Structure 1
């Protein structure tokens, strides 16, 4: 029996296991496929909500803590594994926002470095940017993380920790219940028992909780993206306009995203989305016109009400904890979410007020029939 069992091998699950193991816990992580291959692989990796001023303080508080922590996390993982998650500080320009004044007011109220800049200065700083944009605001310290490399480095870090067992290709079929408490999971490979089970299965978390008669309002929300390969210094900063963004990687890859679709668990890329994303790419960066993307993919975000994740114990089932429902912000919220989870499990003062994320009162009890 392990001290803790983590269900789900995305960045939230991997980082939960890593954080708990660093606290001295014995941890088993269970993933139905390969770790880091679902939403964590599919996202863009911007270390900021796309429009932070449009979210509640619950999301902002997690985001701010994580943004400050990411550089140290990237360095720790590089030193531990030799795999660089590439926390890349480029800054972010928002173009032609309808709510620009609200964004600037939010920044002043929260002490965030967000300023209005002349559009000519944007073109000087980002020569690849297309014409026709009128207004811009800029946050200089925003980074992006190369999320597939982040997942790989976390996996490698776990493999090097003697107190961690990693079980991939091991589908969870349900929970072990004893005297009203959860004591592990049933899998295709047999039972895995634990006093504490953390459910961090992203868009699939709701299906697993349904087996206990609980309705978790976390649903799959499909997002499609495309990738281009350019010269290393083609794009100097992240840019965002009309709900679409361009993210530069250090090696010249440029990500363009993303769609927002309610299509169940269907992850099939579509031609309509490809055409729409290419049009956005060419409007933002005209040099991409006529250039074929090198990759087009889709992933499933764990959509939740107001994008507020569920972090903490499930009161109806002692022994069961949640760290899920991060919607569009899983990568930026993951470090703070996992630190908050550890603080609560270790019964110490949490990094931020925990109540907004508590599952209690946010789940619906639906008796099984």
Structure 2
């Protein structure tokens, strides 16, 4: 019987199992091809000062850890997740004082700069912008390569088993303790089960009479290609952002749509995103995007994830509900989960994420 079984093969599931060191990882589709693949990879909430201390604690720990994680994965697998410190410009914010106070309180460098200064770094910027806040330390991670590196390092671990295209049909619980999971391949026993299935996690808890407030929230992205260095820094205005990759690809996103589990890209969203591209980086809008896709975020109240024991079911754990900041909070979330499961001193206070305080009976 494996000690640990993680349900969900995204970055959260992969990092959870990596932190635990052994066990089985089940993925209903292909490894790291849902929200973990579809996101932009900014290693910061879009507007970090608007979030609760619970989100901030996970985000800051992860930001500081990401370079170490990338170096470790690159060294182990030869696959570089490309954690790249490009910095981020917030353009024409309505309340700069709040953002600056947040940065000062958390020891993060944030500077007020003029639009002239921004254009020296980002010549393609739209002419309507007047000012910006600049945080030079913000990085982005090339999340598809992060997924590839995590898959490679887990497959190299003889104490880990990865199973793709293995959907969990239901949990087996008897006498208040989880026994394992039922899949189309049969029953898999496990002493400890971690649900980290993103937007699909709530569906697994319903048969147990538990209501998990996590729902799919669709986000659509566009991808452009320019020469490397055309865009040197990330830029963000009115919730839309552009992210440069090292090879010249530029991600632009994203939408926020409550459409259930439908992740079909739409022409309406593409047109809306293109209008934002034309405003933010007019020269980029002169060419057609080379990619357009959609993913499903695991939406949750206030964006605070559920990390910890499921009340009333011994051996069942959650690590889910990261909403828009799964990649941002993943390293800290998974380290915290492993600390709790292995009985270690937790890296941060686990109380704000405790499922026992936020789950409800159906």
TMscore range, shorter length: over 0.9
2:6 counterpart SS class: strand
Query: Paired residue for 1:194, among 190, 193, 217?
Result: 190
1:31 and 2:65 aligned: no
Q: In 2, Cα distance between the equivalents of 1:73 and 1:92?
A: 21
- The corresponding residue for 1:297 is 293
1:14 and 2:10 aligned: no
1:308 and 2:284 aligned: no
Q: In 2, Cα distance between the equivalents of 1:87 and 1:143?
A: 6
Q: In 2, Cα distance between the equivalents of 1:89 and 1:279?
A: 27
- Please list the CA deviations of residues 153-209 of structure 1 after superposition, one character each: whole Å capped at 9, or x if unmatched: 101111000000001100100011121211211111011111100000000000111
Query: Paired residue for 1:251, among 232, 247, 253?
Result: 247
Give the TM-score of the pair, scaled to structure 1: 0.97
Q: In 2, Cα distance between the equivalents of 1:174 and 1:156?
A: 28
74-83 or 99-108: which moved more?
99-108
- The corresponding residue for 2:220 is 224
Q: In 2, Cα distance between the equivalents of 1:63 and 1:255?
A: 21
**Following TM superposition, by how much is the alpha carbon of 1:289 offset from its aligned partner in structure 2, in angstroms?**
2.5
- The corresponding residue for 2:99 is 103
Q: In 1, Cα distance between the equivalents of 2:207 and 2:169?
A: 9
- Please list the CA deviations of residues 282-314 of structure 1 after superposition, one character each: whole Å capped at 9, or x if unmatched: 211111123100000000000000000000001
1:74-93 alignment, distance < 5 Å: 74-93=70-89
Q: In 2, Cα distance between the equivalents of 1:139 and 1:290?
A: 29
Q: In 2, Cα distance between the equivalents of 1:62 and 1:211?
A: 30
- The corresponding residue for 2:123 is 127
- Please list the CA deviations of residues 3-44 of structure 1 after superposition, one character each: whole Å capped at 9, or x if unmatched: 1000000100011111111xxxx3100001111000000000
- The corresponding residue for 1:41 is 37
Query: Paired residue for 2:158, among 147, 152, 162?
Result: 162
1:211 counterpart SS class: helix
2:283 counterpart SS class: helix
Q: In 2, Cα distance between the equivalents of 1:106 and 1:83?
A: 35
- Please list the CA deviations of residues 200-230 of structure 1 after superposition, one character each: whole Å capped at 9, or x if unmatched: 0000000111121100000000000000000
Query: Paired residue for 1:176, among 172, 176, 192?
Result: 172
**Following TM superposition, by how much is the alpha carbon of 1:128 offset from its aligned partner in structure 2, in angstroms?**
1.9
Structure 2 gap ranges (5+): none
Give the TM-score of the pair, scaled to structure 2: 0.99
2:208 counterpart SS class: coil
- Please list the CA deviations of residues 222-263 of structure 1 after superposition, one character each: whole Å capped at 9, or x if unmatched: 000000000101000000001100000000000000000000
Query: Paired residue for 1:346, among 337, 342, 345?
Result: 342
Q: Which aligned segments of 4 or more residues in structure 1 are displaced greater than 6 angstroms?
A: none
96-105 or 166-175: which moved more?
96-105
1:5 and 2:5 aligned: yes
Q: In 2, Cα distance between the equivalents of 1:148 and 1:125?
A: 27
- The corresponding residue for 1:207 is 203
Structure 1 gap ranges (5+): none
